[in-house]
Chains A and B, each alone.
Chain A
Amino acid sequence: MSSLKTLFREEVKVFNVGIPSFADDLKRQNVPVAHVEWRPPAGGNKRVIELLDRIKLWQADCQSPAKS
């Protein structure tokens, strides 16, 4: 609770992750903000994620020592 009180007494420093318009809104209100460009892997496309995961598993298998 005490840390929350401190937070609101000090200047707010914002890191915005993902949607740029949130950062833009703060900039318009003169709030300092650092924007981090981030998007979910494969843009959230489940089929693409599944295919990429299959390739990763295959590559892990290809590079593991041969089983007897």
Chain B
Amino acid sequence: MAVKLNVQAANKEAVSRIQSAVPVIKGIGIAKDIVPGMKKNLILHAGPPITWARMSGPMRGAVMGALIYEGLAKNAAEAEQVAASKAIEYAPWHEHNGVGPMAGVATASMPVWIVENKTHGNRAYCTLNEGLGKVLRFGAYSDEVITRLNWMRDVLGPVLRETLEIKGEINLKTLIAQALQMGDEVHNRNRAGTSLLFRELAPALLDSKAPAADKKRVLEFINGNDHFFLNLSMPAAKAILQSAEWIEGSTILTVMCRNGTDFGIRVAGLKDRWFTGPAQQVKGLLFPGFSEADCNPDIGDSAITETCGLGGFSMAAAPAIVKFVGGAAGDALNYTQKMYEITETESTTFQIPSLDFRGSPTGINLLKVCETGILPQINTGIAHKQPAIGQVGAGLVNPPMKCFEDALEAYVETYLP
């Protein structure tokens, strides 16, 4: 017997919570101390649940690197054995209130940002961005990668932690809104966001008790990495969407993510359930020397930005991004305009100058995706399909329709049995 409820009202409640959420940086902590359920032998990863046997190359590489970093393996060969053993457990970041870009691998001793939604009190977590080149999130695990991760744990994390204690909380909602006015979409373009964050942090950082050499290196590290803000725009989006995570009857999406093998979505009215389909190949611009045959399928939790109406949904705010992901400036406008067809409302905070300050498309509605056949537009980095190589380009991708069809089936089974 079908329950009586008003889907439109449920969706209105979901987008109302999304609109009213205010994510702020509360501080930095060590994952094992603050991430719910975190423990020494647990590896958190991007995307829906996956086993070692089904993991793609970059995800495997990142897991191996994390095991070496944690001292659970001495080298790559041993890491591969440990990773495949029962000693190690795997879980999606999304099941532990967090997100991770690309492979998204996080372990117990890594420093993580603490982002809190001031309106509803929920918290989201994310590791600190390593920069570009050979980095763990793209599956690299060389000595260079591990040395940088050690420095991030021993210097970057503590210096930023003290900085935030001096500075106090930083409002990410206003930073993201401002970054959109300055040509970012805060997924693949974070140059403005990183610059704005730098301005927020620098004065307090100079007041910290850290050695001068550490302060200088931390500032240089942030300044030298245009993507530093990504690991804040992502947990900010997560913290916003968490507030709509269980609303009976709602068809609004709260998660889109990929693990390099599967694409997964979650829906506000279908509590804690995953709907998956095969991760798709990304079409875009490749770095010199690489071809499509080198590319891993779509990977990372960064599609949380699109789920929140940012990233590919706000590409009209960031025409310069087409130089990175391919296409023409007019395409960026078209992608955003198309997304209004499948969303419930327009953001009251995130505005797009080139669309006369129209609010970004907000609240992806499962029913509208299924009815129109229009799939969410995602822009993303591309990882090499082999472990240990890293990023090979960036481009555009859509989810598989199967996720949405399966979610629709489950919705009808749940509410109209």
Interface residues of A (CB under 8 A from B): 39, 41-43, 45, 47-48, 51-52, 54-55, 58-59, 61-63
Contacts and interface: CB of A to CB of B under 8 A. Distances in A.
Contact of B373 (A42, A47, A51, A62): A42
Given A41-B372, A55-B412, 4 more contacts: A41-B371, A47-B405, A51-B411, A51-B412
12 contacts: A39-B372, A41-B371, A41-B373, A48-B370, A51-B408, A51-B409, A51-B411, A54-B412, A55-B412, A58-B416, A59-B7, A62-B4
Interface in B390-410: 401, 405, 408-409
Interface of B: 2, 4-8, 367, 370-373, 401, 405, 408-409, 411-412, 415-416
A54 B371 contact: no
Contacts of B8: 59
Contacts of A48: 370, 405, 408
Contacts of B5: 62
Contacts of B405: 45, 47-48
A58 B371 contact: no
A55 B6 CA distance: 11
Contacts of A41: 371-373
Contacts of A58: 2, 415-416
A52 B401 CA distance: 15
Contact of A52 (B2, B6, B371, B415): B371
B7 A55 contact: yes
Given A48-B405, A59-B6, A62-B6, A42 B412 contact: no
Contact of B370 (A39, A52, A54, A63): A52
Nearest to A66: B4
Nearest to B338: A37
Contacts of B370: 42, 48, 51-52
B373 A54 contact: no
Nearest to A61: B2
